[in-house]
Amino acid sequence: MDKNKYREISELGEFGLINHLTEGIQIKQKSTIKGVGDDAAVLDFGNKQIVVTTDLLLEGIHFNLIYTPLKHLGYKAVVVNLSDVYSMNAIPKQITVSIGVSGKFTVEHLEDLYEGIKLACDKYNVDLVGGDTSSSLTGMIISITAIGEVEKEKVTYRSTAKKNDVVCVTGNLGAAYMGLQLLEREKEVFKSTKGAQPNLEGYDYILQRQLKPEARKDIIELLNEINVVPTAMIDISDGLSSEMLHICTKSGVGCKIFQEKIPIDLNTEQMAREFNLEPLIAALNGGEDYELLFTIDIADFEKIKAQPLIHPIGHIADIDLGALLITQSGQSIELQAQGWNPMKAK
């Protein structure tokens, strides 16, 4: 076999691979409004449009059971899918759950996993309507599909931001990444030091953000209440930089993001300093915050500026400007996608 004819998957990365494999796919059904290329597919079945999204979680890649309780894992697996539905400005209604498990898991282990799944369904008013189970040779595999609905005029894509739109984020950024760094540090101490116990005292906030995140149902409800339909939206699963670049690329625009406007919690800052890490790096590149990044028409700015959960951090510009971070000193730095990439070379 001539190895020169073949390419490593890592050369393309996750999104490059998706684009490569789905290039040239032709939509055949009139009911398919949006296929591959956003947080969820959009299907038209009458007065409302249906959004469908799915995520695959692999043990050792997406989660580590050394420090992830199975109940938390079940909860998080649901939430990360619901977040994609909310990022389309839609409301999730149903999920299906498929799992593959190896012989190391017992019935009681799976009961713990499903306790978390059911808890998330109860909190977000979502029905578990089906799925599949299988054996696995490599630990645990979880695949969840979420189905939601949205009025036609309110569905929101990544590709519809326009010049002068205000860029907003919800909550705060970087906490989940710092929670992961803490867990990884304590795992290594536990493995290398006999009898060592994890030191997690006082780190509740960042640990919760990593192990038991929440989807921003409240923000979608708030936007509906104040009559604001985002011009573009995406959830922050791979870091602010990556997600902002997705919006810019899909919409054919540039942006200016201001460092001093990016919300970072004090707990995140303290943990980052403990690791000798700039907190901004965690916010830009960390991922797994599952906050919402969205743009709004400048005419709607007055409606959101007093909302404590929504933070304007910049604006959309001409594509020629590029995607820029403006530092506190006024320096312009090009945003780069350095967040989570499951396809990168090890």
pLDDT of residue 2: 56
Tell me the per-residue pLDDT of 286-320, one tens digit each, with 9 for 90 and over: 999 999 999 999 999 999 999 999 999 999 999 99
Is the pLDDT at 22 greater than 90? The verdict is no
User: In this structure, what is the dihedral angle of CA atoms 130, 40, 224, 258, given to the nearest 10 degrees?
Assistant: 140
pLDDT, average across residues 209-213 = 97
Q: What is the pLDDT of residue 29?
A: 67
What's the Cα-to-Cα distance from 204 to each of 158, 208, 267, 283, rounded to whole Å?
A: 33, 6, 9, 18
What domains sit in the chain, N to C, each tagged with a CATH number?
9-154 (3.30.1330.10), 166-334 (3.90.650.10)
Cα angle 230-92-235, degrees, rounded to a multiple of 5? 45
Match 């303290």 to its residue by tokens: 270
Provide the mean pLDDT of the chain.
90
Q: Which of 93-107, 130-144, 317-331 is most confident? A: 317-331
- List, for residues 242-301, the tens digit of each pLDDT value: 999 999 999 999 999 999 999 999 999 999 999 999 999 999 999 999 999 999 999 999
Determine the pLDDT at residue 66.
93
* Nearest CA-CA partner of 267 in 205, 183, 198: 205
| Confidence at residue 326, expressed as pLDDT on a 0 to 100 scale | 97
**Of 31 and 123, the one with more pLDDT:** 123
- Give the pairing of strands 323-326 and 254-258: parallel
Instruction: Say how far apart CA 110 and CA 118 lie, in whole Å.
Output: 12
Of the two residues 96 and 120, the one the predictor is more confident about is: 120
**What pLDDT is attached to residue 343?**
45
pLDDT at 129: 82
Tell me which of 56-70, 141-155, 190-204 is least confident: 190-204
Over residues 95-103, mean pLDDT: 89
* Res. 127: pLDDT tops 50: yes
Give the number of other CB atoms < 10 A from CB of residue 116.
Answer: 21
Q: Does the structure show a pLDDT above 80 at 46? A: no
Give me the half-sphere count of Cα atoms (radius 13 Å) on the Cβ side of residue 60: 5
